[in-house]
Amino acid sequence: MGSVLEDKILALCRQHPEGLPEALLAQHIPATERENVTNSMLTKHKLRVLRNGKDGSFAYQEVSHEEANKMKGVSAEDLLVYQYIGQAGNLGIWTKDLKNKSNLQQPQITKILRTLESRALVKSVKSVINPSRKVYMLYDLEPARELTGGAWYTDQDFDAEFIHILQQACQKYIDNEGEATLEEVADFIRTKGFSRVELRDEDVLCILRTLEFDGLVESFVSDDGEMYRPAKYRVPKTSAFTSIPCGICPVINDCSDDGVISPATCMYYKAWLDF
């Protein structure tokens, strides 16, 4: 009897992969009949309960066979922590937040996390924003760009070299083309395969903005929208001021005629005049 009902409930769950509402289940199976069966299925990790945030109603969702195997022998506290981690999605959750939400003690949470990690149910990810914080998320999820830093980070480290290569490529393309739109530059970068991760238009826009601030390209508005071209106004290559040691002197503020640092005895001047 129980097995027949279990199969019926699982069949209904498969028809509603986003979650079988309690009210719909009640239409097919009366509460008195299903009460024990659903409890048993929940204990065996064949079902999970979801709660609708709007009206507070419950819904049931089938747990896959592999997942059920992984969850075998998991305690109620473990499950609670697992659910909070699941709710955090691909942004992950910090242990301190887990402690606040679950009202469990820190050592207990640490132990639970170790268990869940050993069962490959959750994983820890380091955030590029707060490298000292480890956040937890479900094992199968891909960490969000906010956590990994997107294309600009490799193994949590800022990849300045990669950015420099992209800058050079973008500048060369604009110099060769004379004028180019963001989409054209982005297509060029994608087709040349500079990056292992997919670069979005916004990522290429960030690179173009840095080129603008470097004074190498400039943007202008044309009939085709915003376009980029080599900068007309370039910073002079040499300056009469910085070609003198004082122009780049790190201790110019401490320099005086009768001080320890003085133009008459300046080492930088000596090196400059010694030709």
Residues that bind other proteins (CB under 8 A): 152, 158, 160, 163, 206-207, 209-210, 213-215, 232-233, 235-236, 238-244, 246-248, 252, 255, 257, 262-264, 266, 269, 273, 275
Least distance between other proteins and beta carbon 264 (Å): 4
Least distance between other proteins and beta carbon 24 (Å): 47
Least distance between other proteins and beta carbon 148 (Å): 15
φ, ψ for residue 183, nearest 5 deg = -60, -40
Identity of the residue, 71 or 207, whose beta carbon is nearer to other proteins in the bound complex: 207
Least distance between other proteins and beta carbon 216 (Å): 10
Residue type, 256: S
How many CB atoms are located within 10 Å of the residue 16 CB?
Answer: 15
Identity of the residue, 80 or 249, whose beta carbon is nearer to other proteins in the bound complex: 249
Identity of the residue, 76 or 264, whose beta carbon is nearer to other proteins in the bound complex: 264
Asked whether 245 and 268 are in contact (CB, 8 A), the reply is: yes
Nearest to 112 by CA among 139, 76, 155: 76
Nearest to 218 by CA among 178, 252, 257: 178
Least distance between other proteins and beta carbon 171 (Å): 13
Separation CA 238–CA 24 (nearest Å): 78
- For the chain, how long is the longest CA-to-CA vector? 104
How many CB atoms are located within 10 Å of the residue 191 CB?
Answer: 8
Separation CA 83–CA 100 (nearest Å): 14
Least distance between other proteins and beta carbon 222 (Å): 13
Separation CA 122–CA 67 (nearest Å): 12
Identity of the residue, 107 or 236, whose beta carbon is nearer to other proteins in the bound complex: 236
Identity of the residue, 139 or 162, whose beta carbon is nearer to other proteins in the bound complex: 162
Least distance between other proteins and beta carbon 158 (Å): 4
List the helix and strand counts (H, then E) for the chain: 12, 11
Separation CA 114–CA 274 (nearest Å): 67
Identity of the residue, 60 or 152, whose beta carbon is nearer to other proteins in the bound complex: 152
Identity of the residue, 138 or 206, whose beta carbon is nearer to other proteins in the bound complex: 206
